[in-house]
Amino acid sequence: MDNKGYIILFYAWGTSNAGDHALCLGALELISLVVPIESIVVVSRYKANYTSNNGDASSNIQQLFPGVKVIPSPFGFSRETSIQKLLQYSQGFLVALAGIVLSKIHIPFLRRYQPFRELNNARLVLLNGGNLFYWHQVRRAPARLVAFALPLVLANNLGIPYGLLPNTSGPFDQSIISRLIGGVYQRAQFVMFRDTQSLKNTRKIADLSKTKAYVLPDLAFFLTEKKTVSEMVMARCGCCREDFLAVVLRVAPLGLGISKRLDNPENTTTRLMGMIPDVLAKVQKETLKKILIVEQSDDDKEISQMIFAALKSKGNNVQLLRLRDPYEFIGLYANASALFSMRLHSMIFALGQGTPVVGLWRKELGEKIPSMMEDLGLKEYAFELMSTDPDQLCQAIIRTVIRRTDLRFQITKYNENRKQKALDVLSEFL
C-alpha cells in the first residue's frame, strides 16, 4: 500500500469509562508498531474542549502519543440539558443520514466538518474497536449506528479502503437495518472481531467471502504496563503483590433508554446483593485474601458501595478503590492474585498481564464475556448472573487464586500468540 497519506481512526470514545478509553490507547500502541505515529489522525467522539464527565480524550492521547493529530468530533455531544442533547443528537443524526443516503452529492457539504475534510488526505480509514454494530430487541440505537457507519460509507465513495478493528458484532435480527449493517461489513477491506461469536453473528447478515475476516484480541490487550504507574497505584491502595482479590461490579444496561422490561438494573442489584457478599466472604475465609472492590465507571459507584458496606458490616477485610486511568487498572491487576469481574475490559486489563479472572456476565448485555473466555480456553470461569449457582461461583474464584501460576502460564502463552497474529495481520494492510 502507498505510504503517502494519513491513517484516520474514528473514534476516540472518551475517558469516563476506562475500558472505552483503553480501546483508543491500545489501537495507537498497536498501530505505532507498524507505521510512524505521525501518520495517524484520531477523530474524537466529542467536540473540542468538552469537559463533562464523559471527557474528551484528546489531551490524554496527545500527552501519551505526542506525534498523533487529534481532531474533534463532527457531531455535538457537549450540551448538558435533555433538550440540548436531543437537539444535538437529532442534528448529528440528520447530517450523518444525509451523508449516507445521498452519498457523493453530500460529500462537498460534509467537508465543512474537519474530520471529513481529512478524508481527502487518507490512505486508510479505521473504525475503532469495541461493542459496535448490533440491532435486536434489547438494543437499538439508530443515531449511534449512523455515526459509526458514516466515515466508512464516505471512505468507500471516495475509493479509500477501510477496515474495522477488533469489535463485538451483533446479535442481529433479520430486519432491513441488519442487512444495511451487513453491507458495511461486506465492503470493508478487512474486519477484525474480538470473539468467535461476533464473526458468526456477522456472517448471518453479510457475505464475507470477499472481505478478509479475523478473530483477534481486543485492543486493550495491547496496552503495556507502566511500572511507575503500577508503583503509585499499589501505594495508593496499600496492598502487596498477590495479597488481594480485585472485584469489579456492574448493574448498568448497555446504553441509555433501555426499557426496564428488557434490562432492569433493580433486579440485577437484588440478585447481586443476595449472592455476592456471601460468595466473597467465603472466598476470603478460604484464601485469606483482602477483597478490593474497584470502581471502573461512574455507573458502578452505587453497587460497589453497597457490596462494600455489606462486607464491611460482617467484619470482612475489604477496601473500595476508584480508578479511571487504564494504565492504573493494568498496574493494579498485574499484582492481584485474581480478578472477579462483571466488566469485559477490567477482565482484559487483568488477562493482558497474565492474571486469572472469573467473569460474571448478564445475557442482556450479550455474550462478549463468555465468548472471549471460551476463546481463551477459560470457559469454566464464566458464569451467567441469574442462572449461576453461588457455590460453583465461589469455588471457581478460589480455584483461580490457588491455580494462579498455572493459569498465568496458559493465559500469557495464548496472549503472545494472538497478539503476534494481530500484528502480522495489521502489517499487511498498513
Is 21 a domain residue?
Answer: yes
**CA separation, residue 238 to residues 189, 325, 395, 429 (Å):** 48, 18, 27, 45
Cis amide bond preceding 11, omega within 30 = yes
Vertex 250 angle, CA 247 and 256, to 5°: 155
How far is it, in rounded angstroms, from Cα 1 to Cα 262? Answer: 46
| Cβ–Cβ under 8 Å, residues 192 and 423 | no
Residue 182 corresponds to which cell in the numbers above? 451487513
Looking at the fold, whether 10 and 129 belong to one and the same domain comes out as yes
User: Which residues are CB-neighbours of 389 under 8 A, at least 6 positions away?
Assistant: none
Other CB atoms closer than 10 Å to residue 237's CB: what's the count?
Answer: 19
Looking at the fold, whether 215 and 263 belong to one and the same domain comes out as no
How far is it, in rounded angstroms, from Cα 296 to Cα 123? Answer: 36
Domain end (from 172, 188, 222): 222
Q: Tell which residue, 294, 275, 272, has the closest CA to residue 343.
A: 294
- The number of angstroms, rounded, from the C-alpha of 397 to the middle of its chain's C-alpha atoms is 24
Q: Please name the amino acid found at residue 198.
A: S
Q: Tell which residue, 320, 343, 351, has the closest CA to residue 225.
A: 351
How far is it, in rounded angstroms, from Cα 303 to Cα 189? Answer: 42
Other CB atoms closer than 10 Å to residue 408's CB: what's the count?
Answer: 16
Looking at the fold, whether 349 and 312 belong to one and the same domain comes out as yes
Q: Tell which residue, 24, 36, 48, has the closest CA to residue 115.
A: 48
Q: Tell which residue, 180, 194, 173, 122, has the closest CA to residue 146.
A: 180
Is 317 a domain residue?
Answer: yes
Other CB atoms closer than 10 Å to residue 190's CB: what's the count?
Answer: 18
Looking at the fold, whether 36 and 175 belong to one and the same domain comes out as yes
Is 427 a domain residue?
Answer: no
Looking at the fold, whether 22 and 120 belong to one and the same domain comes out as yes
Residue 344 is predicted with a pLDDT of: 93
How far is it, in rounded angstroms, from Cα 381 to Cα 359? Answer: 6
> What DSSP designation does 41 have?
E
Is 426 a domain residue?
Answer: no
| Cβ–Cβ under 8 Å, residues 285 and 311 | no
Is 73 a domain residue?
Answer: yes
Residue 40 corresponds to which cell in the numbers above? 495517524
CATH of the domain at 212: 3.40.50.11720
Q: Which domain holds residue 322?
A: 227-414
Q: What is the pLDDT along the chain (430 residues), one digit of tens a residue?
A: 444 689 999 999 888 788 899 999 999 999 999 999 999 999 988 765 444 444 568 889 999 999 999 998 776 554 454 445 555 555 555 555 555 555 455 556 566 678 778 888 899 999 999 988 887 766 677 777 888 888 898 899 889 999 999 999 988 888 898 898 999 999 999 999 998 899 999 999 999 999 999 999 999 999 999 999 999 999 999 999 999 999 999 999 876 667 777 789 999 999 999 999 999 999 999 999 999 999 988 889 999 999 999 999 999 999 999 998 999 999 999 999 999 999 999 999 999 999 999 999 999 888 889 989 998 999 999 999 999 999 999 999 999 999 999 999 999 999 999 999 999 999 999 8
CATH of the domain at 330: 3.40.50.2000
* β-pair partners for 382: 359
Residue 92 is predicted with a pLDDT of: 57
Looking at the fold, whether 188 and 236 belong to one and the same domain comes out as no
3 state SS of 122: strand
Phi and psi at 164, nearest 5°, equal: -110, 125
Looking at the fold, whether 245 and 132 belong to one and the same domain comes out as no
Looking at the fold, whether 170 and 245 belong to one and the same domain comes out as no
Is 425 a domain residue?
Answer: no
How far is it, in rounded angstroms, from Cα 86 to Cα 107? Answer: 25
| Cβ–Cβ under 8 Å, residues 202 and 191 | yes
Is 364 a domain residue?
Answer: yes
Our count of domains for the chain comes to 2
Looking at the fold, whether 249 and 390 belong to one and the same domain comes out as yes
Q: Which tens digits make up the pLDDT trace of 284-308?
A: 999 999 999 999 888 899 999 999 9
Q: Tell which residue, 168, 398, 421, has the closest CA to residue 285.
A: 398
Q: Which tens digits make up the pLDDT trace of 249-276?
A: 999 987 666 777 778 999 999 999 999 9
Domain end (from 222, 238, 256): 222
Residue 47 is predicted with a pLDDT of: 64
Domain end (from 194, 222, 250): 222
How far is it, in rounded angstroms, from Cα 395 to Cα 43? Answer: 45
Looking at the fold, whether 78 and 218 belong to one and the same domain comes out as yes
Is 25 a domain residue?
Answer: yes
What are the DSSP calls for 377-408, one per residue? T-GGGEEETTT--HHHHHHHHHHHHHTHHHHH
Looking at the fold, whether 236 and 216 belong to one and the same domain comes out as no
Looking at the fold, whether 208 and 254 belong to one and the same domain comes out as no
